[in-house]
Structure 1
């Protein structure tokens, strides 16, 4: 005989108390609400044969290549709850994964989410997170098809994204001497917002919002692939750091020209207030998820991209033709 000594939240017809914690709701109570949150978009997704609720999702792809990526978001390392709302965190977690598929020249289609969290976390936080995550996925027509939950001392989010490339995926390893280096999307804005939050401020608001909800150039990855990009990467950890990944994978040297960047006024204002060179936000900032690519020549660079450097014989990354001793990007360990 099983004795139940609390509310049974996993009844599919029972709504969760909005003030309940995860510990009170239980795993299946939470999952039922999350499935409901993500399930609305699945009804119109012809690629999903079996969605959440079974041991695995079943998907189909009509043509092209399947591309897969996994990323993690950890409380205290990648976000703070006093700096960003749960919905913001959902947007951020989705954006960084969708952007990885974009950086292959593909389009994200389906995602799974692993959520570990303290038992005393309000259920509403998880539902707000799901709402933001689903909204960001909707911008590219992607859907959540499954996931898992468990208990942890802090919030840990692990996301796997599956996408489709209808042309050959663009790798990091294709840059050649003589190529040009180009960038598209906002760069340095999220870094400026993080610097502002780190000092206890909330303005310029446009930078804080850029940190909370990135705006990756989702259409640009496929566009670059179709234009003949020779290598491609998203700027998640810092422009110079990502340029170094391209240089190493391709066995070339890359020079970045600071004169190619127009420093936006909000970054100038933050630099002045904090006594920092605003160019550092651009060169070392991540989390905007701009795209950095190499193309055979300037004539092949699509509209909306800015040439910011070139590819040369040799190795490593230089700035304005010389060594750079400033920060290059985020380090995880």
Structure 2
């Protein structure tokens, strides 16, 4: 590298120059009172408290570099954390990001990763207040998210017998996209650098895009009218059965889902092509980052929400009155 040529890797550019580069020209959201540049950030807590959550993505466990671009990974990392904040009934206010990457990682890759993070943070109404960067053998992205609780926390333990169960956002699309990418990878020469060539599966690019970049419907929760009584809420990250199972267990109730209400015609063609019942993706696919909630009444629910079941006495989650066998969703150590 000559004195006038641009740095190609993070080793060549260096930690602090890279941090300065990815932070240059950024505008902080109102919730961040002091952003990058000091030993720590300062985040507002107008309600005298804040919601906080953290999540981690590890290369080849939560994403693949031959399936997703750096911008995709950045957006996904922020989205899954923002969805957890919103699932508590809070408005995202700030994110803190830690990045581990090999020294030969391209500077442009890290820049695109940061751009994706900022893009999704802005969609959630927040910004990135700071973070850390270290050398690691594989790419690791860890995000801590903060939220402003505009109402009492909406917990998993509030569901009551007689409540309706409703969902907002797409279910099963991420699982379908993962299945398509897995089918592509199984072809001779299937692995490549992103964006991977979908070939004969190109008609299913929409579900692949949803797997790469989930788009939580934040406003479906945050814009709920005050007179709509929501009793329990969760982000659907591990799978609908698994996440509703947490509500059922925490609340000491049973939940029964209606398969017909969950049917999504948008998944029929990809299910037929891959020989999979789309209901399996809807119930256990995971990484949808939709929202599932229980409400006291369905008559005044906004159109973003679809009633898919009811809360009853008992335990566990059933579909049309029957327990389903097989996996119910994602499990980190399975």
TM-score (ref. length: structure 1):
0.90
How far the C-alpha of 1:301 sits from its partner, in A, is 2.8
Q: Which runs of 4+ in 1 moved over 3 A?
A: 223-226
Counterpart Cα distance in 2 of 1:64 and 1:165:
9
Question: Contact between 1:255 and 1:309, CA under 8 Å: does it hold in 2?
Answer: yes
Aligned pair in 2 of structure 1 residues 190, 26: CA closer, same or farther (>3 Å)?
same
1:319 is aligned to 2:319: yes
Give the 5 Å matches for 1:272-287. Answer: 272-287=272-287
1:86 is aligned to 2:70: yes
Could you say what secondary structure the match of 1:323 adopts? coil
Aligned residue in 1 for 2:187: none
Aligned pair in 2 of structure 1 residues 127, 16: CA closer, same or farther (>3 Å)?
farther
Aligned residue in 2 for 1:33: 21
Aligned residue in 2 for 1:290: 290
Counterpart Cα distance in 2 of 1:86 and 1:57:
25
How far the C-alpha of 1:16 sits from its partner, in A, is 8.4
1:253 is aligned to 2:254: yes
Structure 2: tracts of 5 or more residues without a match: 185-197
1:103 is aligned to 2:87: yes
Counterpart Cα distance in 2 of 1:273 and 1:166:
45
Counterpart Cα distance in 2 of 1:65 and 1:49:
15
Counterpart Cα distance in 2 of 1:41 and 1:53:
14
C-alpha distance after superposition, 1:239-286 (max 9, x if no partner): 111110111111111111111123223x21121111111111111122
Counterpart Cα distance in 1 of 2:122 and 2:298:
33
Question: Contact between 1:117 and 1:150, CA under 8 Å: does it hold in 2?
Answer: yes
C-alpha distance after superposition, 1:172-213 (max 9, x if no partner): 110011111100111111111110001114531111111112
TM-score (ref. length: structure 2):
0.90
Aligned residue in 1 for 2:169: 185
Counterpart Cα distance in 2 of 1:61 and 1:181:
32
Counterpart Cα distance in 1 of 2:301 and 2:49:
24
